[in-house]
């Protein structure tokens, strides 16, 4: 396969297959056959084509982020009817480790081929607000501009559902069909327990969370956490449920809700992982959005900023 580009616009496209080798003659491929060849070649050429045709490239930590953000955008677009927006292409960074180096490397490499605007979305993880704000500023500078890096209003994108209790209650009503007051009481009890347990050095939550925190802090690939102390982090998140809701806690919330209200929410499968439970919750949220008021404010803001949607 030989691609000839002039400022990233295709001039000639040649596709070498077995018949060409047998005939010994190589001719330009008709432009209307380009899509068929892209499908034949698979992921690499499709990704290059997406990057070439987009307005912005957005780096993300996880593959689920791509799926969720694209779903949120499509829902937002269907509800609002917005027509003027930037076309995005996402690039999966495979986690948070060495994120500054990865963003710098991929941005430099891709910018030579695709002179686009670059953005990044990261998880808050175990970072304090000051630390994650500083990290976002550093990443944005690598991308060549201010305010080009965003983090979710929670430990991860699924945890952002715990940043607004009123909307969380609405999601759980749609999912469980339980009595509203019972849902409110259940969430209040869980939230109060979390707030107390994260400050209690003898609680399972404190011990497990500190172990996770220490494991992240101990990595050379996570220098942003080098000066952080777990107890300072715990104090900061004790009154903000979403910042401590990593996926293991999301699973425990769902299990507590099921047992407390005597309902079955998650379909039993061979996958009993925290990732599966967290995805079930977020997908139920996506399914429950019928009006813009059903969306979290942080999700609306993220979509508008990423896709360059102007609001009055």
Quote the CA–CA distance of 168 and 20 in Å, as a whole number: 59
DSSP alpha helix (H) spans, 28-157: 34-41, 43-53, 63-80, 99-113, 129-143
Question: What local confidence, expressed as pLDDT, does residue 25 receive?
Answer: 72
Question: What local confidence, expressed as pLDDT, does residue 7 receive?
Answer: 44
Find tokens 């942080």 and name the residue.
Answer: 298
- Percentage of the chain surpassing pLDDT 90? 77
Residue 29: pLDDT above 60?
A: no
**Residue of 47, 70, 269, 264 whose CA lies nearest to 175:** 264
Q: What is the CB neighbour count within 10 angstroms for residue 241? A: 25
Question: What local confidence, expressed as pLDDT, does residue 226 receive?
Answer: 95
Helix 34-41 vs helix 43-53: crossing angle, to nearest 10: 130
**pLDDT for 245-277, tens place per residue?**
999 999 999 999 999 999 999 998 889 999 999
Please report which helix (H) or strand (E) contains residue 117, including its range: strand 117-122
Give the chain's end-to-end CA distance (angstroms, integer).
Answer: 48
Question: What local confidence, expressed as pLDDT, does residue 286 receive?
Answer: 98
Residue 4: pLDDT above 80?
A: no
- Percentage of the chain surpassing pLDDT 70? 86
Q: What is the DSSP letter of 95?
A: S
Q: What is the mean pLDDT of the chain?
A: 90
Question: What local confidence, expressed as pLDDT, does residue 168 receive?
Answer: 98
Mean pLDDT on 275-289: 97
Residue 3: pLDDT above 90?
A: no
**pLDDT for 212-229, tens place per residue?**
999 999 999 999 999 999
What distance lies between CA 72 and its chain's CA centroid?
11
Quote the CA–CA distance of 160 and 247 in Å, as a whole number: 11
Model confidence band, residue 47 (pLDDT cutoffs 50, 70, 90): confident
Domains of the chain: 2-50 (no CATH), 52-156 (3.40.1360), 159-294 (no CATH)
- What dihedral angle (degrees, nearest 10) is formed by the CA atoms of 252, 255, 260, 261? 140
Question: What local confidence, expressed as pLDDT, does residue 284 receive?
Answer: 97
Q: What is the DSSP letter of 147?
A: S
Residue 17: pLDDT above 70?
A: no
Q: Where on the phi/psi map is residue 139: left (φ > 0), alpha (ψ -120 to 50), or beta? A: alpha
Model confidence band, residue 200 (pLDDT cutoffs 50, 70, 90): very high
Give 21: exposed, middle or buried? Use CB within 10 Å, 0-12, 13-18, 19+.
exposed
183 close to 263: Cβ distance less than 8 angstroms: no
**pLDDT for 99-117, tens place per residue?**
999 999 999 988 888 889 9
Mean pLDDT on 146-157: 96
Residue 51: pLDDT above 50?
A: yes
Residue 8: pLDDT above 70?
A: no
**pLDDT for 68-82, tens place per residue?**
999 999 999 999 999
- Is the dihedral angle over the CA atoms 142, 148, 151, 152 positive or is it negative? negative
Model confidence band, residue 147 (pLDDT cutoffs 50, 70, 90): very high
């Amino acid at each position: 396969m030989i691609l000839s580009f002039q400022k990233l616009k295709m001039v000639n496209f040649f596709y070498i297959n077995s018949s060409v080798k047998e005939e010994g003659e190589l001719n330009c491929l008709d432009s209307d056959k380009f899509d068929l060849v892209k499908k034949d070649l698979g992921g690499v050429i499709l990704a290059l084509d997406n990057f070439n045709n987009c307005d912005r490239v957005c780096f993300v930590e996880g593959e689920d982020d791509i799926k969720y953000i694209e779903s949120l955008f499509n829902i937002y677009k269907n509800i609002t009817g917005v027509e003027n927006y930037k076309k995005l292409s996402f690039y999966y960074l495979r986690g948070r480790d060495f994120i500054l180096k990865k963003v710098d490397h991929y941005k430099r490499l891709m910018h030579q081929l695709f002179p686009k605007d670059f953005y990044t979305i990261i998880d808050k993880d175990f970072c304090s607000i000051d630390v994650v704000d500083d990290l976002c500023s550093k990443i944005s500078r690598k991308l060549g501009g201010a305010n080009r890096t965003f983090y979710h209003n929670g430990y991860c994108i699924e945890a952002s559902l715990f940043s607004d209790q009123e909307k969380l209650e609405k999601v759980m009503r749609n999912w469980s069909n339980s009595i509203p007051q019972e849902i409110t009481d259940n969430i209040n009890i869980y939230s109060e327990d979390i707030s107390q347990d994260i400050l209690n050095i003898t609680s399972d939550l404190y011990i497990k969370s500190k172990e996770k925190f220490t494991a992240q802090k101990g990595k050379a690939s996570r220098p942003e956490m080098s000066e952080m102390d777990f107890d300072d982090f715990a104090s900061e998140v004790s009154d903000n449920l979403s910042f401590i809701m990593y996926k293991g806690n999301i699973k425990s919330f769902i299990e507590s809700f099921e047992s407390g209200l005597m309902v079955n929410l998650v379909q039993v499968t061979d996958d009993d992982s925290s990732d599966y439970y967290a995805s079930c919750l977020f997908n139920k949220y996506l399914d429950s959005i019928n009006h813009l008021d059903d969306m979290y404010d942080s999700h609306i803001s993220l979509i508008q900023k990423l896709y360059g949607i102007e609001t009055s």
